[in-house]
Amino acid sequence: MSHSSISHAPAQAPSSPRHPFDLQGRVALVTGCNTGIGAGIAVALAQAGADIVGLNRSDASQTAAQVQALGRRFVPIQADLSRTEAMADVLAQVLAAAGQVDILVNNAGIIRRADALDFSEEDWDAVMNTNLKSLFFLSQAVARHMLDCAAQQGAQWRGGKIIHIASLLSFQGGVRVPSYTAAKSGVLGLTRLMANEWAAKGINVNAIAPGYIETNNTEALRQDAGRAGEILQRIPAGRWGQPADLGGAAVFLASSAADYVHGHTLAVDGGWLAR
């Protein structure tokens, strides 16, 4: 694992009174932001004023360039989130490079497709470790850090925000993705559990459930003309989503505008679940 920081001129002090969606002075740790939904969310948080720590297995230079073009700092951290025993080391690297974490976005995830009758234990473990187990233990580590900040800063502490990326399969069963469905159903449950335990401590835990978004994870579906047509026909908005479509929901849940929102999973799905 390695990290490097990128220096920028200090941001101007936020004006007073602070806009409820203003994230200036906040540091957001976003996992899996090298592409797709994670990249869209990282850029949206930067547009709202946050500095970004990107936690990825692969290069995130394209996202870094977009964040820096907005005048915000981007700190890249490389780590394999399928190895939960490394979480303490990962957070230590993040804090050494960025100093704090005010917002955590648990976006990193993988998907494996096969009929339930043929699904392998290897594919089950790979998806569950990355999409659910690492989400829990990274959230645990960051929540501990946030509570340390609360103890040190007292009334000056602005609270912590944890946002999980759930899925339509947090609500539905799907087909040919048993471990993904199990993991994303677990994400919805953990969102509620963490909110129950941490809301009174000043940490908001919520989730976003994306609909059918044009990303690497949905490429196989989009290449299947029949399946892609069936999906599109059911989406009331009449189109697949773009990663940027998740940005507003992420900014809301990361901001003081959502201070009284706890344990909620917000679907951003073009109306899919309404049909």
Q: Return the active site residues.
A: 180
SS3 letters across 61-126: HHHHHHHHHCCCCEEEEECCCCCHHHHHHHHHHHHHHHCCCCEEEECCCCCCCCCCCCCCHHHHHH
Tokens of 109: 């995830």
With tokens 């001129």, the residue in question is 9
Residue 53 belongs to what H/E stretch? strand 51-56
Are the C-beta atoms of 245 and 213 separated by less than 8 Å?
yes
